[in-house]
Amino acid sequence: MNQPTRQAARRPGARRGILTLALALPLAALALPAAAQSTVRIGFHAPLTGFAAADGKSARLGAELAVEQVNAKGGVGGKPLELVIYDDGGKPEEGVQIANRLITQDKVVAAVSGSYSGPTRAAAPVFVRAKVPYISAYGIHPDITRAGDYAFRTSFTGEVQGRAGAKLIGDLLGKKRVVVLTLNNDFGQALAAGFKEAAPKFGVTIVKEYTFAMGDRQFGPLVASVKADQPEAIYASGYYFNAGPLVAQLRAAGVSVPVIGQEGYDGQKFIEIAGAAAEGVIITTSLDRDSPTAEARDFIKAFESTKGQPVDMVAASTHTAVWVLANALNKAGTGDPARLRDAIAATDFTTSTGRISFNKLREVRKAVQNQVVKGGRWTRHSVIDDPVLLAPPEQ
């Protein structure tokens, strides 16, 4: 597909250069108001370096695919969509610098976060104060949308996903004695809070809860304690880089009960790190790789045939966020931020991660997809589509 504009990723402090039809724009063009630009610029940031670089790469590829597809259909209001990309390294302070640069220097009409909660939570108030619509593709902290009425989220909060995990274990799997392993950051704590809130509704007893740190890779004492607890299932938060070693060490110690994770596991990297121990692990996530919808099937086919890696939740989430924004831009235009904000709020259409609509806090309403590792790949396990259980916060 033709992508008329491309933008290389950069650190906030790096010099910015735009290539349009292979010709460098003069620096004076950077000061043009959005309406006078030859492209419709949307900002984008992700952790392209550092501890979460694999997720950052997927986030960028998913967003770039969406831009390519939008431009192949004529762009936005007759202009090509341009993605202005920055690397936040997963650091909150970078998120603030990037937001300011996107607003004041790059003159973006809106922005998408392809990053974790830390940078997204830090950047959201900056965009809100400037009245620049901002969509979090998969950051889970509740304060992101509470920053104000220009901040949106197209994935679940941690609490919603945690409640889904309780239903998956207690209802769908019929397991009642559970050990909870909580990553000690915003992500892990939010997931654990939702799980503990819903556990009694599904007859789940939490035998013990243990915490671990982001940098942990060796889990010997924790694994020994879990084994002694003799749970029927384990609910473990984490990202691919710490969940992979955790699951591998649990299985090596003879702990064979079901391990239930979340979207932080979602990707081929977890399977590569955990190896054979990944088999049978189930997660709650946003992407159904076996979805019957044309939107999901077309996304997966296009991504895997053009981007050189298996699809994952992160790529699907940024692809969704960019399409939500492009759809709203085609309805509202670029001249009035309030109209664009209202058009995003009125979203109701099907994307690669399901049908998207927002509540009054600009939180998404959609089903949770449960995926299981079979034969070394993620595949559908089940779907949780309970609007009461999955109701996002309203205020």
pLDDT greater than 50 at residue 112: yes
Per-residue confidence (pLDDT) for residue 20, from 0 to 100: 27
Per-residue confidence (pLDDT) for residue 395, from 0 to 100: 84
Per-residue confidence (pLDDT) for residue 335, from 0 to 100: 85
Which pTM does this prediction carry?
0.89
Report how far residue 209's alpha carbon sits from residue 205's, in angstroms, rounded to the nearest whole number: 11
Per-residue confidence (pLDDT) for residue 15, from 0 to 100: 30
Per-residue confidence (pLDDT) for residue 10, from 0 to 100: 52
Closest CA to 307 of 100, 107, 61: 61
Please, where are the H alpha helices in 199-336? 220-229, 240-252, 268-274, 294-306, 313-332
Q: CA Rg, the chain, in Å?
A: 21
In the chain, the percentage of residues whose pLDDT exceeds 70 is: 91
pLDDT greater than 60 at residue 5: no
**Residue 364 structure tokens:** 């998404």
Report the SS3 class of residue 40. Answer: strand
The residues, ordered by sequence, that sit 6+ positions from 353 with a Cβ below 8 Å of its Cβ are 154, 155, 286, 287, 296, 313, 316, 317, 319, 320, 366
Closest CA to 358 of 191, 150, 168: 150
According to DSSP, residue 170 is labeled I
113-147 tens-digit pLDDT = 999 999 999 999 999 999 999 999 999 998 999 99
- As beta bridge partners, residue 372 has 282, 379
44-81 tens-digit pLDDT = 999 999 999 999 999 999 999 999 999 999 999 999 99
147-193 tens-digit pLDDT = 999 999 999 999 999 999 999 999 999 999 999 999 999 899 999 99
Please, where are the H alpha helices in 253-395? 268-274, 294-306, 313-332, 337-345
Per-residue confidence (pLDDT) for residue 25, from 0 to 100: 28
Report the SS3 class of residue 27. Answer: helix
336-345 tens-digit pLDDT = 999 999 999 9
| Burial category of 191 from C-beta neighbours within 10 Å (exposed 0-12, middle 13-18, buried 19 and up) | buried
pLDDT greater than 80 at residue 106: yes
191-245 tens-digit pLDDT = 999 999 999 999 999 999 999 999 999 999 999 999 999 999 999 999 999 999 9
Domains of the chain, first to last: 5-156+292-364 (3.40.50.2300), 158-285+369-384 (3.40.50.2300)
Per-residue confidence (pLDDT) for residue 33, from 0 to 100: 56
Closest CA to 235 of 204, 259, 199: 259
Per-residue confidence (pLDDT) for residue 37, from 0 to 100: 74
Widest Cα–Cα separation across the chain: 66
Per-residue confidence (pLDDT) for residue 296, from 0 to 100: 97
pLDDT greater than 50 at residue 16: no
Other CB atoms within a 10 A radius of the CB of residue 47 amount to 25
Report how far residue 115's alpha carbon sits from residue 90's, in angstroms, rounded to the nearest whole number: 7
